């Protein structure tokens, strides 16, 4: 993976994805390792995403790398009308690897083609966010001991959520059974379902969350955004339909883990946080280990 860019999860083979998860385990054991002391990591956030940026910067810092960059387009030369091409070429003079988030779809792929140094996509518009997918896979493997043969429920906005689409695509490599819980108007798009079918796997669609809880190993909750609805009454109706509370977990499997890409609004009640099955904060922390693994593998020190 040395010197390779990571733009879409499919840029890395199944074996390479697994290798990243294995390296990440080493960083979970020992998070602080001074192995990137001679490297400069640039974090270019053309749109703000404090959570993702801090996770990358924490990962780089724990490995001893220097971090340069900006946290919004307003604080960069982009606000003066500089093209992405010019920004990337300039920054690549100052750094060994570029972590980039950008509001425009495909911007990361383009950056990786003009940049002489590797690029990690930290989200390009509505398109891809592969480090989220890898940290989700890491979290599933961590809680279940395996990625194979699991029953996984995705809950909420399955139509627009790129997190769900990418993770679904990745999980089709592991004989997953998919349980898709959403309002009718936010069902998983047919091209993603098609991908499940093409891999001879099964999916089941539900509108009721309660019914699937006893049958799954992972409940992956997502946020339902108000702006997705043309009818605000409809939004009010569905937002409460997927509010997971602790009492609903009574019949769940002992190995079950609750995940969420965060930030949450009201889809997981605060009383779930103290349940040992609540995994979403650990999941966010796992993002640091996975990003450490990516930096180390791409810079060629692991």
Partner 1 sequence: MENNEQRKELKVSAIENGTVIDHIPANSLFKVIKILSLENLEEQVLFGTNLESKKYGRKGIVKVSNKFFESDEVNKIALVAPHASLIEIRDYKVVHKSVVEIPNHIQKIVRCFNPNCITNHEQITTSFDVIKDEETLKLRCHYCEKTTLRENAVFL
Binding site for partner 1 (CB under 8 A): 8, 83-85, 103-107, 109-110, 124-128, 191
Q: H/E element holding 24?
A: helix 14-29
- Measured from the Cβ of residue 46, the count of other Cβ atoms closer than 10 Å reads 22
Q: How far is the CB of 124 from partner 1 (least distance, A)?
A: 8
Task: Give the integer Cα–Cα distance in Å for 89 and 101.
Answer: 16
Question: Comparing C-alpha atoms, which of 24, 42, 22, 41 is closest to residue 33?
Answer: 24
CB closer to partner 1, 140 vs 158: 158
CB closer to partner 1, 107 vs 143: 107
Strand partners, 206: 181
Q: How far is the CB of 172 from partner 1 (least distance, A)?
A: 17
Question: Comparing C-alpha atoms, which of 124, 130, 96, 92 is closest to residue 110?
Answer: 124
CB closer to partner 1, 68 vs 126: 126
Q: How far is the CB of 227 from partner 1 (least distance, A)?
A: 15
Task: Give the integer Cα–Cα distance in Å for 123 and 240.
Answer: 29
Separation in Å, CA 245 to CA 95, 179, 274? 46, 19, 11
DSSP-derived letter for residue 103 is S
CB closer to partner 1, 150 vs 167: 167
Is 244 in contact with 272 (CB distance < 8 Å)?
yes
Question: Comparing C-alpha atoms, which of 200, 209, 98 is closest to residue 158?
Answer: 209
- Angle formed by the axes of helices 280-298 and 50-62, to 10°? 50
- Write out the two tokens for 200: 């001879």
Q: How far is the CB of 85 from partner 1 (least distance, A)?
A: 7
- Measured from the Cβ of residue 107, the count of other Cβ atoms closer than 10 Å reads 21
Is 152 in contact with 172 (CB distance < 8 Å)?
no
Q: How far is the CB of 194 from partner 1 (least distance, A)?
A: 10
Q: H/E element holding 42?
A: strand 40-45
Q: How far is the CB of 86 from partner 1 (least distance, A)?
A: 10
Q: How far is the CB of 42 from partner 1 (least distance, A)?
A: 19
CA dihedral 158, 159, 163, 168 (to 10 degrees): 70
CB closer to partner 1, 8 vs 283: 8
Q: How far is the CB of 264 from partner 1 (least distance, A)?
A: 26
CB closer to partner 1, 8 vs 177: 8
CB closer to partner 1, 47 vs 273: 47
CB closer to partner 1, 110 vs 204: 110
């Amino acid at each position: 993976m040395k010197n390779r860019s990571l733009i879409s999860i499919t840029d890395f083979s199944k074996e390479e994805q697994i290798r990243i998860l294995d390296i990440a385990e080493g960083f979970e054991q020992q998070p602080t390792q001074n192995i990137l002391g001679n490297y400069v990591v640039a974090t270019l956030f053309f749109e703000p995403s404090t959570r993702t940026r801090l996770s990358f910067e924490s990962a780089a810092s724990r490995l001893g790398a220097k971090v340069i960059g900006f946290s919004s387009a307003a604080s960069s030369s982009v606000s003066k009308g500089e093209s992405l091409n010019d920004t990337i070429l300039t920054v690549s003079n100052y750094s060994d690897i570029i972590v980039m988030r950008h509001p425009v779809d495909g911007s990361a792929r383009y950056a990786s083609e003009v940049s002489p140094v590797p690029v990690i996509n930290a989200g390009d518009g509505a398109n891809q966010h592969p480090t989220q997918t890898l940290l989700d896979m890491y979290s599933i493997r961590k809680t279940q001991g395996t990625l194979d043969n699991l029953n996984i429920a995705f809950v909420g906005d399955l139509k627009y959520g790129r997190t769900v689409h990418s993770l679904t695509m990745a999980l089709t490599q592991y004989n997953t059974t998919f349980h898709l819980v959403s309002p009718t108007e936010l069902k998983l798009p047919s091209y993603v379902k098609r991908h499940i079918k093409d891999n001879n796997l099964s999916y089941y669609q539900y509108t009721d969350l309660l019914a699937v809880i006893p049958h799954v190993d992972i409940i992956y909750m997502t946020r339902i955004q108000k702006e997705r609805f043309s009818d605000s009454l409809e939004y009010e109706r569905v937002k409460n339909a997927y509010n997971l509370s602790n009492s609903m977990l009574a019949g769940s499997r002992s190995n079950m883990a609750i995940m969420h890409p965060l930030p949450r609004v009201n889809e997981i009640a605060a009383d779930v946080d103290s349940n040992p099955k609540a995994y979403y904060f650990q999941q966010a922390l796992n993002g640091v280990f996975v990003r450490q693994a990516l930096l180390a593998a791409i810079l060629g020190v692991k």
